[in-house]
Amino acid sequence: MILIPVRTKLIKKGDDLTSVILSSLRKNGLKLKDKDILLIASKVASIAEGRTVKLKDVTASLKAKEIAKEVDLDEKQVELILMHAEKIYGKVHKALLTLKNGFLIANAGIDKSNCKPDEVVLWPSNPQDSAEKIRKEIFKRTKKRVGIVIVDSRTAPLRWGTIGLALGFSGFHPIKDYRFKKDIFGNTFQITLQNLIDDLACAAHLLMGEAKEKTPIVLARDVPVKFSSKINVNSVFIPPDKCLYMKVLNENFKQASSLSS
């Protein structure tokens, strides 16, 4: 498996991301092949889609001000987090633990880095659609059948730092199902699934960096996934009542409700 970071120009609102990707590949001397996977930083997908908010247009509520003081975040950013989060589970310095579009993520995915100093960036409005559109557009223009992943970062329990997360994807199966298959000793797997899409998002995240690397695209080649244009997009979300973490977190939901209402 090969992963190649692709440098791009600075991406602006209204840019056609497919054009940027294809011209950046050319400038980096790369030629797209069938079954390549293009991983795209969610930040640039958001910016191209115009998903930025000017902080001067936001009025912080009393509640946002209180939380902002407690966690040491900009009060207008907190107001936006309160507006965009479906639930808030807790908070630490600089971060609220939120539920957003089915993801458990810090600050509803709203971020202040790599955008103009007076702005924040929201997630793409529908990262799944963004991935799907780019895949189809690339096929239209190049006739190559590729996979697309929109990559954001998240943190994990008890570990410092961010790892990758697949916000949206298109063109291949995100999960490898081992259930009812045999292991080396002939034992039958009962519950094992492998999350290929988040593993791959992490691999790309390692190369994208978080600062001014300007490599928001990663080309991945020879990735052991099954390509298909018809994918159940929800197959990567575990229902909360089956999730090892959410069962415990949801017991604290009374507190969450009182925070987010």
Q: How far is the CB of 107 from a second copy (least distance, A)?
A: 10
Near a second copy by CB under 8 A: residue from 17, 45, 68, 207: 207
Near a second copy by CB under 8 A: residue from 35, 199, 227, 233: 199
- Kindly state whether residue 179 participates in binding a second copy, applying the rule CB under 8 A: no
Alpha carbon distance 201, 224 (integer Å): 14
- Kindly state whether residue 254 participates in binding a second copy, applying the rule CB under 8 A: no
Q: Smallest Cα–Cα separation from 176: which of 203, 147, 200, 152?
A: 200
Alpha carbon distance 109, 81 (integer Å): 8
Q: How far is the CB of 27 from a second copy (least distance, A)?
A: 18
Near a second copy by CB under 8 A: residue from 65, 84, 136, 214: 214
Would you state the structure tokens that stand for residue 27, as one six-digit string?
């400038």
Which residue number, 19 or 156, has a Cβ lying nearer to a second copy? 156
- Kindly state whether residue 228 participates in binding a second copy, applying the rule CB under 8 A: no
- Kindly state whether residue 163 participates in binding a second copy, applying the rule CB under 8 A: yes
- Return the half-sphere exposure (C-beta side, CA atoms, 13 A cut-off) of residue 154: 22
Site for a second copy in 54-83 (CB under 8 A): none
Near a second copy by CB under 8 A: residue from 23, 31, 66, 90: 90
- Kindly state whether residue 30 participates in binding a second copy, applying the rule CB under 8 A: no
- Kindly state whether residue 50 participates in binding a second copy, applying the rule CB under 8 A: no
Q: How far is the CB of 133 from a second copy (least distance, A)?
A: 23
Alpha carbon distance 39, 31 (integer Å): 15
Alpha carbon distance 168, 122 (integer Å): 15
Near a second copy by CB under 8 A: residue from 14, 56, 232, 244: 244
Q: Of 20-28, 49-57, 77-85, 204-212, which part binds a second copy (CB under 8 A)?
A: 204-212
Site for a second copy in 96-125 (CB under 8 A): 97, 102-104, 106, 112-117
Would you state the structure tokens that stand for residue 24, as one six-digit string?
């950046």
Would you state the structure tokens that stand for residue 204, as one six-digit string?
């790309």
For every residue of 82-114, which 3-state class applies, written as one string?
HHHCCEEEEEECCEEEEEECCEEEEHHHCECCC
Residues 149, 40 contacting (CB under 8 angstroms): yes
Following DSSP, what letter does each residue of 121-152 receive, concatenated?
EPPPS-HHHHHHHHHHHHHHHH----EEEEEE
Near a second copy by CB under 8 A: residue from 60, 236, 259, 260: 236
Number of residues that bind a second copy (CB under 8 A): 84
Near a second copy by CB under 8 A: residue from 28, 126, 128, 155: 155
Would you state the structure tokens that stand for residue 211, as one six-digit string?
């600062």
Would you state the structure tokens that stand for residue 231, as one six-digit string?
């994918």
Which residue number, 62 or 244, has a Cβ lying nearer to a second copy? 244
